Structure 1
Amino acid sequence: MVLLIKAILSLSVFIMKVGANPAATQSSVHSVSQCHDWGELGNGAVRVIEGEATWLPCPLFSHPNVYNYSSAQAAGLNLVWYHVASGQDLEQPIDFHHPDQRLSKERETLWLQPATMEDNGQYICMLRNRTSCAKIAVHLEVVQPKPNCEGKAAVPSTLVNVPIQGGKFLTCPDLDDVKLPNTSHSVTWYHNCDANAFMNADRKVEKDELRIRQMFEMYQGLYHCVVTYETKGRTLNFTRMINVSAVSSDGVPKEPRILNPAVDQIYPVKQGSEVNLTCRVMLPFTEGPRETWWTIDGKTVEQLADPRFSNTSRMVKVYFGDWTVEIVLKIKDFSSEDLRREYNCSARNRRGMATSRATLEEEAYLPSVELGCGLGITLFLMLVMFVVYHIFWLELLLLYRSWFGTDERSTDDKEYDIYISYARNSEEEQFVLLTLRRVLENELGYTVCIFDRDSLPGGTITDETLSFVGRSRRLLVVLSPGYGLEGTQALLELKAGLDSMAWGRHLRVILVQYKPLGRNGWVHELRRARVALVLVRWQGEKSSDLSSRFWKRLQVELPLRRVKDLIENKNSNTIPLQNKAIH
């Protein structure tokens, strides 16, 4: 554009010289002139839909205050148009006397009424006389119409903002260019390709204009206006688009408002790290520019020229043209000197300006690495302890009882540690006498009472049974399918033990399941007391070893033997618990 203005100025100076000195004109007629070529107009191609009318103003006359068409004609300069078709290099002069009269020239404007696909290419307007000339090119692109709504206009849409619940008159762009002598025109309006959208009182077509009496959100979008006119006996048209957006009303405050940093807000910072200061600003809609920026000691980031400082901005929200903008000031390698600086966030639009200061405070040092390592080690140790306890809880419980438990022999006057109740048949009797009794007495050092062995002849069975159970600390019930039949010795022992346990006479009942029992195998007394009793299952060969869980689980329920007693038993060749199989 600067080069174009220089060319026009030089051309105007030349014309003034020609008008002031005709002799100079005669002397320069025979000189060889060189045409100033200013290339192609840099505003991009002019686009038009095939079958519609368009016009190309000569860019040499885009600054009428410097040079205009009338002065050029008065100075004897002629305006000539050339066409360079697409894919060719040859400049062809345009014939304005063609019979179809589709191409015409009106002053400095070239008209194509209508445009066809053959019109693609460059159009050169040249202003010249015998001794001097200047030329510039304009590119024209003819496109085929598309079926969709947006493709009905080749020219980019014009943006129009209408205040919400406000009013506006919409005029079809470039309408004044068709108001030539001996022409008549009409304008048809569409909203989203609907010509029947203007039947209510809020929107109405008045002559050539579309009047929006009251703007609503639903009225936003693309508006098409089709201008139809007649000239030289032919009906022509061109289409333009207007993109209408609803913006906030002029009745609301329009001054910028800083949401963040607030008055009492404090930004925690840490030396040696990257600090991000976030500023959020509300910028209401106004015509003209809207700006947001950070200052450090009164200087912007660009003025400060410190590579450690940078800022980025983004649009957070757009609501009816009102912007919510977030701008972040990044400070790398934050130092103690940066803590003493003044940081201000500012915003400005046409209505005013707002500034808010950010208050910085150095945060206390938290040994996050040390805390993280300590927490990790603690959790690991807790997990290890949980696994160890889950696997060795019996051993740990036995160890704890052996050192800190209370020996029941010092708190009661009982004679026996264990009374064994069992069904009187050969298999259960063999298990009791050869396995339970031997281990409990010989290996673990308990005093065991077995009725068939320890009772005296001639006594009453009921009285002696009740006496033995009452003088024992534990009642060990060996369960099997035959246990608890009506009228048996075992059932009497079970009832006596349950009664003594219920009355709180320092007796506990322990169930040892020698063989599996069905649901119907439990006698009435056991079904009632089963929830409160401990059940230890004998698993055959798997439980025969003295280090098995059966013996450990049973030993937990039996009376306590202190460590010193176990040592004494060991010195007397009685081993309390060892890896030994029972035969």
Structure 2
Amino acid sequence: MDLKYLALLAFYYVVGRIQGGVIGKCSPDKYEAVVITEGEHARIKCNLCKASTLLAMSYFHTHGFNITWFKYIPEGGQEKLSGETARITYDDISLGFWPALLNDTGKYFCSVFNGTYNISSASTYLNVHKMEGLCDDHFYKYIGIVGRFFSLLCPNLEDYNSEKNNVTWLKDRKDKVHTGNTYTIQKVEETNAGCYLCVLTLENGGVQYNVSRRVKLHIEHIEPFIPKIVYPGKEEKIEVELGDKREIECKAVLGYKDNDCMLYWKSECDYFGIDANETDTRSITENNRVYLINQLVFKRIKTEHLNRAFHCCLLCPETEMVCNVILLEKDKHVTGRLCVLLFTTLALIIIVAVIYVRFKIYFALCIRDFTCKDETLQDSKEYDAYVLLLKSNEALICAEGEYFALKLLPAILEQKFGYRLCIFERDVLPGAAFADDIFSYINKSRTLIIILCAELLENESSMYGLMSGLHQVLVERLIKPILIEYNPIRDITFLPQSLQLILKSNRTVKWTNESLLQNSYFWKRIRYLMPAKCIKRTQFY
């Protein structure tokens, strides 16, 4: 015996269950059906469950295996067919009836035997009936569309490939319309509807026998709705977690009526696995269309369910469709990736927030200049800011503060940016009522600029102006303050309580040596705290 034969025999030893010398036995519930008319030839193939190819059968013949046919008898048991009669013959791996009679109806199976071991096939049910009418219960249904091309194929002649050209087509059993396995209609018309008989003629022992198939052609004026699976897709991949319960729904639409379709699940190895089964198919109607639903239920996802294809199958008279579902284990690192994503998002938000806080003054000034926004219109105010210099009795400090308030501050704000300042020492005429003048000019201003030079405020006029301005800022809230810390203040406890509140606010600006530059942060912050005012593009910002 050669190696291929040994491998084949070993295969049956592994996959088969050896009981009483039997290697592999098909379930008695599994069988095929062959429908034939009395007096015609019938052929049944030896249908082995595991390896039914011609190559395998040839090895059986070569190495001493014999094929024996049996028929189940109604009383129970089985009857061996000798194959020695002229009417019932063995044809290699097939059982032939020349012709088939009514009493041949029944179940048949074959057994491949070498004296020690045998392999039994699945059963084939031979249904021999009388010719009661051309379109009785045993016919194949086809649907043609008016005006379309259509081909009628004589069905189930796979066992007669070499004789297919001997097929004759008859319409209504009297009119010969075609010779050949396929009858082609170039343009379907109403008159093409009817019952057809395709007859294959064979010869055995000098006698001719027929193998006939009956076909009924319906004609429709519109293309019928073709049933299809709407879920899952052609190949659906679903992530699951081991141990979870999961229900996967297969849903098919049939159209406006039930088309005698079947919807079912199957696996690659015809076995769903432990804790998995399909439910009964149910029918529902939605939007005047009929749907079939069948669920594949996993009571608990196991490793054996993963990376396998589960097929949702739709079988209808006019179409077949298969869609696949593959279960994949959910990525265990998805939580980690989610944390990284959240951390990255949070970090990005923080960076954006820091950039905004750090450069918001620059953004605001650019937007002001681009839109030419002006907040000084129609508010009945005469000045953009009232400048209050808090003087000290120290001559040097006082002189520096006066230079900043009377020279440098107006040079930048008035000449560069077009603001109008009210500086008491410069703009108020001498001789007027001191208290009334200060109060009046503060009321006419939009902003109160307080220039702080020292911790100790000993100048009486400075203190009065400060109190008047702070009353407007803190009590009546009519104007906004800007506190310029011209000299560093080491101890704020010497300042009035109200001034300490402003000093701790975000409306304070500190003067440094770099502030002498006109494009320094000091002047940008002063502009940011001042009312928005439209300036020319050529001016500095």
Q: TM-score, normalised by structure 1?
A: 0.35
Max Rg structure: 1
Question: TM-score with structure 2 length normalisation?
Answer: 0.37
